[in-house]
Amino acid sequence: MHDNRLRSRLKAQLTKFSLQLSEGLSRPLQKFVGQMLFGVQASQDVKLSNIARSLQEEIDLIKTENRLSRNLEATELESHRSERWAARGSRRVEANTVLCLELSDLRKEYAQKMQYLAKVRDGSTGELHDGYGLCDITAAEVKSSEIVPLYQKLYSAEAKEFSSENAEILAAVDLVRSHTRGRGIWALDRGGDRREVLEPLLARRERFVIRSTGKRFVIDRRRLQGSVAEVGGRCRLRYAARVIKIEEGKEKVYELRYGAEPLHLPGREEKMLLVVAAGFGKDPLLLLTNLEGARDSESLGWIVQIYLTRWKIEETFRFLKQSYHLEDIRVLRYQRLKNLVVLVTAAAYFAATFLGQKLKLRSLCERLLIISFRFFGIPPFRFYALAHGIHKVLSQTSPEPSGPPPKTWQWELLLAWEG
């Protein structure tokens, strides 16, 4: 494919993505969204100076940067995008689709003047540092390599409208469930078994698989009260299975043993099950679930797989932070921070989601991978190379489309890892 034709096709696809994402906004904001998506891809950066430079406008660079900064203050960008993203993504959520809710952080330990900078806990080390919280919901299928982005929000514990992390979690859950309408199974990591989250999920009759810290007090089948860890310690691990995880391009095999014990929360009647899975490390996985009918090896193994589906999206967060240098974000105002995270996430999902979804775009996708030359070839997680290929093509042009976008387009929020 000739380079000019490749560039033209890529810009047309980005224009279509931008128009659908910004539908319903004012025309100035629609243009702004398109320029930001182009600029983030072309510069592969989040700094407004580099984004402005990639637009190649025939005016002073500072004027372009000031306009982008001013438009980032629009509050309707955050609410509009969140609602549309959840509505469209939920169309791909089936009855047993896993809804992975992930809490992460945006580390800004050297920042001083960013508005509402707060202390956040590093999920890997447990250390406290300056930054912002991130709440993300992504849908995935147990037996498929596809994922669907549904929700992402940056928040600060120091912001005036902030109530609590629990409130942020439940607000995200309620937005998504207003569109999924009972479809899907929630998967939460450790800490999701806190009473302020667990009981509202039970009250909303949402199905879930939550990894427990082991500290939550429950009542077992003998009506004895104790911690989840104590109940798990008495559980017979009757079944065995083998799980293979791809780590750094290599297969790692886990030999599992698992079993289950019925229980419920003190003061509540809803029946739950504690599924215990040993073999991933020193301590076994303790999974709380309210899925009904799980008693045999196959159904209990399926519950373990629901939680392990979260593995599929771990690399997606890493891709977002590394390929677009998300933690190098430097805008100072809180609303601009939130909107910029929204737009960078959209740019990342354009690279990882939209391209390659239709057969007619496969050749475009493959050509971009070739352009993103690597000394060691295409990496196992091909989106890194794809994002770099888009950057190399768009960095040589301006965002103005070479022609009118096609009249029809179906926006597919589907991330094909095998695409």
List the CATH number of the domain containing 307. 3.90.350.10
pLDDT in tens, the chain (419 residues): 456 777 787 888 888 888 888 888 999 999 999 999 989 888 888 999 999 999 999 999 999 999 999 999 999 888 887 887 788 788 889 999 999 999 989 889 888 899 999 999 876 677 899 999 999 998 888 887 667 788 889 999 999 999 999 999 999 999 999 999 999 999 999 889 999 999 999 999 999 999 999 999 999 999 999 999 999 999 999 999 888 776 666 777 888 999 999 999 999 999 999 999 999 888 999 999 999 877 788 899 999 999 988 877 776 667 667 777 888 888 999 999 999 988 888 877 777 655 545 434 444 555 554 444 443 333 445 565 666 677 677 776 777 654 444 444 333 333 333 33
Say what the pLDDT of residue 24 is.
87
User: Do residues 168 and 118 make contact, with C-beta atoms less than 8 angstroms apart?
Assistant: no
User: Do residues 197 and 164 make contact, with C-beta atoms less than 8 angstroms apart?
Assistant: no
Assigned domain for 230 exists: yes
Say what the pLDDT of residue 247 is.
65
Assigned domain for 352 exists: no
Q: Which domain holds residue 172?
A: 83-314
Assigned domain for 115 exists: yes
Assigned domain for 358 exists: no
Say what the pLDDT of residue 123 is.
67
Say what the pLDDT of residue 382 is.
54
Domains of the chain: total: 1
User: Do residues 340 and 331 make contact, with C-beta atoms less than 8 angstroms apart?
Assistant: yes
How far, CA to CA in Å, does 18 sit from each of 15, 68, 177? Answer: 5, 16, 25
Assigned domain for 69 exists: no
Say what the pLDDT of residue 373 is.
46
Please name every residue paired with 289 in a beta bridge, in sequence order, or none if there are none.
Answer: 209, 273
User: Do residues 278 and 255 make contact, with C-beta atoms less than 8 angstroms apart?
Assistant: no
Assigned domain for 257 exists: yes
Parallel, antiparallel or unpaired: strands 250-264 and 239-247: antiparallel
Assigned domain for 386 exists: no
Length of the chain: 419
How far, CA to CA in Å, does 262 sit from each of 221, 231, 278, 297? Answer: 6, 9, 18, 15
User: Do residues 339 and 331 make contact, with C-beta atoms less than 8 angstroms apart?
Assistant: no
Assigned domain for 345 exists: no
Say what the pLDDT of residue 338 is.
94
Say what the pLDDT of residue 388 is.
67
